[in-house]
Structure 1
Amino acid sequence: MTDAQNRRGLLIILSSPSGAGKSTLARRLRNWDPGLSFSVSATTRKPRPGEVDGEHYRFISEADFKGQVANGEMLEHAHVFGNFYGSPKGPVEDAINKGQDVLFDIDWQGAQQITNSVLGQHTLSIFILPPSIAELRRRLETRAQDDADTIARRMQRSWDEISHWGGYDYVLVNDDLDKTEDHLKTIITATRLRRLQQPQLTDHVRVLQTEFEDLP
């Protein structure tokens, strides 16, 4: 569980090619710690049936989106298949200042933008690799969410995504879902204890220094 009273929150970035298990792992992390929240992306595309504004996405006009980008209000943004997607900075900044971790399910381009943003020092980036390309294709086919053409496009994109693995803090091969989940929990728990995430330490050290100076 998080200790929001005594630390600053993390921007936890999970990236992977489609089918590597990223979404499943993200759900497991939220079950492990309900204090983890997903960053709700803004998009210019129209809502799909069942999608709720503010829950699945923040649906805004293209003019509003471009205005927020111009004003520096997006941590990252991209143009994908004719629509704009991005992560609004304000809600993320508010969350981490309250000690709440925010989970991002984004690609390598978004990860780079966030890492290089004003909040970059509070990021933890993790890339999930599949055990093999054959297994990656099998997972895409067995989850039965996409038609053959979509699967082919996802497979074509997978190598470009995998080629950027070296830009992440941690890289995990998801050959066993339970093991990978355990590794993620360990990484997050340790990173929460980074000196930078514990702003109260400065005051504590000052108190120790005063006590030391008061020794007889």
Structure 2
Amino acid sequence: MAEWWSYRLSDFLLFSPRTYHRLFELYNAAIWPAQAAAVLLGLLMLGLLRRGGPVAGPAVAAILAACWAWVAIAFHLDRYATINWAASWAAAAFLAQAALLVWAGVIGGRLSAPPRLDAAGRAGVGMVLFALLLQPAIGLLLGRPWRQAEIFGVAPDPTAIGTLGLLLALAGPSRWVLMVLPALWCAATGATLRAMSAPDAWVAPAAALLALVLTGWQGLQRRRPS
């Protein structure tokens, strides 16, 4: 029996890269036109963030919760679980994130749109735009067909990155708690893509690290006496 340190990430992979990307192709075909609606919801959240007001924070939290619940059920349970037994645990985590967003942002009102975005908040908006518009194009640049694109609101990776960006742009005492599960997913999906030797394996972990660093910096800036 080989020693445990002789194993590589790829030894734990339960599916081939072709099977993984084909999964997205079948999923996208089955849920169309939900992708278009999800992108419009993403743009709506940016509009709410810019407009501000007392409704913006709860509305963004409610939309994000719906996206996380959709991905939990429609993707993880109905699709990903057919090739990966751990998908049921991922679904539970995504449903937990949806519940946290409802609890903190909708019921508790602990998220709000700041009157003015600071540098970190603007970077958060940039992350959202990346998740909405640029991340789906990564696969095309790597030679995968557009039918396998991962879309914000219905696929897990851009949903997690976009959520981190929105939380970075929002204000409220619950942001750190709400960033935990999206950041953990970014690390997990990075490991999965790394095991598949995917060139874009670094994207989600890098986005999570950036969001966490900027949130920490943002907190320090706000504690400084004016």
User: Structures share a fold, TM > 0.5?
Assistant: no
Task: Indicate the structure with greater strand content.
Answer: 1
TM-score (ref. length: structure 1): 0.26
The structure, 1 or 2, with the larger RCO (C-alpha pairs under 8 Å, 6+ apart) is 1
Task: Indicate the structure with greater helix content.
Answer: 2
- Select the structure of larger CA radius of gyration: 1
